[in-house]
Amino acid sequence: MAKVMPFNGLLPIPEKASKVAAVPYDVVNSDEAFKIAEGNPLSFLRVSKPEIELEKGVDLYDDKVYIKAVENFRRLCKNAPLQLDKEKHLYVYSLKMGEHIQTGIVAAVSVEDYDKNIIKKHEKTRKDKEDDRTKHIYLTKSHSGPVFLTYKDVANIDELVTKAMTDSPLFDFTASDGISHKLWRLSIEQSEKISEIFDKVPFLYIADGHHRAASASRVGAKCKSDNSKHIGKEDYNFFLAVVFPSSQLRILPYNRVVKDLNGLTVDEFKKKVSEKFEVSHSKSPSPEKQGEFCMLIEGEWYNLKPLFDTSKFNVIDCLDVSILQNYILNPILGIDDPRTSKRIDFVGGIRGTGELEKLLKEGKAKVAFSMYPTTVKQMMDIADAGEIMPPKSTWFEPKLRDGLVCHNF
């Protein structure tokens, strides 16, 4: 069963929370992070993306980047300041984006649960990215970027969370992107009660943050090796997560753009596509249901409907991203590995289909595909089957903020 544990949170003082909170390190590049943090010495991006304070073009894996992260974290703890709760608590974190609201539990979850697949995965991780976060976490001695987890809804937890939210929040602010963030500290009694209920939840699922979770596991193993008196209850045996009921999650489409037609003319390409799909002009740039696609080429949108039966496909092959890969991207456009191909780019649904039109208009791509979003159930089914989703299958919004609650060890 899943361990969802209270912990001694490290938090900014309420009046500085909006200044400290930052988007996750892996959704912005160095230039974007520099612009966001410019003029704000308290931005957590100075810890999670410390290269923004070093010479331009510095190797992101250079030792001085991690040294700067430690230096900036210590400075932030002093200047924000960040304060460590004396007692162990769970926290409630609510995000609102437009009309969409999702509310989760900020907690320490178990490295052992991750290693034993009680915390289930659906993505592969890259060693270079793991190495980076492992070193960052180990040297700062803090999990500052939460892993985004989900679980199959439990009514008792929802009731306790709703009751807790009747109190005034610790933090309540709207970020520059229009997303509002609220945080409550649960009482010790409330925290223990929710933790006990989670003891009956068989599995948690990683929605986003596979590299953070894998890195936390590696840090836990290293700290265990370093500690001759290890007993298994040390803080390094746990990592920071926000755990949401699955019914509240929203997945946006992860669209594709391809830079060339693999040597084909437009007519040749469309003819090959029409051998496997019914192709018709579309009034909408977005598909209306699963199993269909919208394709943009030469300024025109087309709707694609498979001419083959997908009803008996397995949990991986029935995904829209798999169908597109297996019937168009690979056999027609020659993109056999979208993880490594330089000819394909992925556009998160938050940027809209207008971004696809812009890329084609600017000549940066020849064809684009607008996708129907993967469902949370599909993600869970794949994790339950022990399978791995194709790359760039899910785009979760809104994004959790780094720095609102840290878990030190």
pLDDT in tens, the chain (409 residues): 999 999 999 999 999 999 999 999 999 999 999 999 999 999 999 999 999 999 999 999 999 999 999 999 999 999 999 999 999 999 999 999 999 999 999 999 999 999 999 999 999 999 999 999 999 999 999 999 999 999 999 999 999 999 999 999 999 999 999 999 999 999 999 999 999 999 999 999 999 999 999 999 999 999 999 999 999 999 999 999 999 999 999 999 999 999 999 999 999 999 999 999 999 999 999 999 999 999 999 999 999 999 999 999 999 999 999 999 999 999 999 999 998 999 999 998 888 899 999 999 999 999 999 999 999 999 999 999 999 999 899 999 999 999 999 999 9
Based on its alpha-carbon atoms, the radius of gyration of the chain, rounded to whole angstroms, reads 22
Question: Can you tell me the distance from the alpha carbon of 273 to that of 66, in angstroms, rounded to the nearest whole number?
Answer: 48
| Residue 146: cis peptide before it, omega within 30 degrees of 0 | no
pTM recorded for the entire structure: 0.91
Question: Can you tell me the distance from the alpha carbon of 82 to that of 21, in angstroms, rounded to the nearest whole number?
Answer: 12
Please state whether beta strands 147-151 and 100-110 pair in parallel, antiparallel, or not at all (unpaired): unpaired
Torsion angles phi and psi, residue 20, rounded to 5: -75, -45
Total count of residues recorded for the chain: 409
pLDDT of residue 53: 97
| Residue 50: cis peptide before it, omega within 30 degrees of 0 | no
Question: Can you tell me the distance from the alpha carbon of 304 to that of 284, in angstroms, rounded to the nearest whole number?
Answer: 12
pLDDT of residue 57: 92
pLDDT of residue 158: 94
Q: Where do the domains of the chain lie, and which CATH numbers do they carry?
A: 4-250+397-408 (no CATH), 254-372 (3.30.1760)
Question: Can you tell me the distance from the alpha carbon of 26 to that of 49, in angstroms, rounded to the nearest whole number?
Answer: 9
| Residue in the block written with tokens 């690979």 | 330
pLDDT of residue 349: 80
